[in-house]
């Protein structure tokens, strides 16, 4: 896959935002974001968990197509919590991942876990959306943002009560790390080519600040890999496709966690 998927997605995201802003103005959204609500700390949940699994609700991907087209958040997110997930990741991109903002709205009152809004965030409008729909944390992707823009979005997220997971893939993105970041995610999938290798997490872990909470994202399908990543300093493990491609994602997660926490 030679074309740059990330650039294509970001361009489409900017188009979507223009449409959304004509439907609900930034002023209306900011007003809605002043409503009081409770928050759950994703960082705290991962730090105290013996497994650290961030279970992802994901209907499709650009590289694999539909994984589970009819998946319902009210069923799968509840099953994930019952199975022992430490946090939830819910994709809200519709064109490339089959998600919607409604997926978080539906899940929020049904679960007590922290929810990460998994999205290609390029505008603070999306941060206000995240707060209004009930997310607790947002993803900022270094490869999709300028460094100063990333810092400004992280600052705004904190103003709104949202935690920030910064996603890195290359060494040259380490300069994006700043005090505004709550967690650092290492994406094992190249967002330009969608080539995946968990070795990326092991390789970059040695170059990251020891005090940061580290999350390994994508390409994880073996409990032993999670054990090895924990030894390398990771405390969060974002896994979606491995569970979503099964007929019972909750049961798949439960068995996965049992293998992680079982005595070696």
Which positions are catalytic? 56, 58, 118, 167, 187, 217-218
Q: How many CB atoms lie within 10 A of CB 264?
A: 4
Cα gap 123→247, rounded to integer Å: 36
Tell me the DSSP string of 199-242: HHHHHHHTTS-TTSEEEEES----HHHHHHHHHTTEEEEEE-HH
Question: Which residues lie closer than 8 Å to 251 by C-beta, 6 or more apart?
Answer: 79, 83
- Spell out where 41-162 has E strands: 53-57, 60-61, 65-66, 87-91, 115-118, 137-141
Q: Which residues of 190-226 are buried (b: 16+ CB within 10 A; e: fewer)?
A: bbbeeebebebbbebbeebeeebbbbbbbbbeebebb
| DSSP code of residue 245 | T
Nearest to 49 by CA among 234, 197, 173, 196: 234
Are 36 and 132 contacting, i.e. CB atoms less than 8 angstroms apart? no
Are 78 and 110 contacting, i.e. CB atoms less than 8 angstroms apart? yes
Which stretch of DSSP H or E encloses residue 187?
strand 183-187
């Amino acid at each position: 896959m030679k074309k740059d998927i990330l650039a294509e997605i970001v361009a489409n995201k900017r188009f979507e935002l223009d449409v959304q802003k004509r439907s609900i103005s930034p002023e209306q959204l900011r007003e809605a974001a002043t409503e009081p609500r409770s928050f759950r700390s994703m960082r705290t949940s991962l730090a105290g968990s013996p497994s650290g699994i961030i279970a992802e609700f994901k209907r499709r991907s650009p590289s694999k197509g539909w994984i589970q087209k009819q998946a319902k958040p009210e069923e799968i997110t509840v099953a994930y919590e019952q199975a022992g997930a430490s946090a939830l990741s819910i994709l809200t991109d519709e064109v490339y991942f089959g998600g919607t903002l409604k997926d978080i709205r539906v899940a929020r009152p049904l679960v007590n876990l922290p929810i990460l809004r998994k999205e290609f965030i390029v505008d603070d409008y999306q941060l206000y959306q995240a707060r209004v729909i009930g997310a607790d944390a947002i993803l900022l992707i270094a490869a999709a943002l300028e460094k100063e823009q990333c810092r400004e979005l992280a600052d705004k997220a904190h103003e709104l009560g949202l935690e920030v997971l910064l996603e890195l893939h290359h060494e040259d993105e380490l300069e994006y790390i700043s005090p505004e970041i709550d967690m650092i995610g290492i994406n094992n999938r190249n967002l330009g080519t969608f080539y995946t290798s968990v070795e990326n997490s092991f390789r970059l872990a040695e170059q990251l600040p020891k005090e940061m909470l580290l999350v390994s994202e994508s390409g994880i399908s073996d409990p032993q890999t999670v054990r090895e990543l924990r030894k390398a300093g990771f405390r969060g493990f974002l896994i979606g496709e491995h569970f979503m491609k099964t007929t019972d994602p909750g049961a798949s997660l439960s068995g996965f966690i049992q293998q992680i926490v079982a005595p070696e």
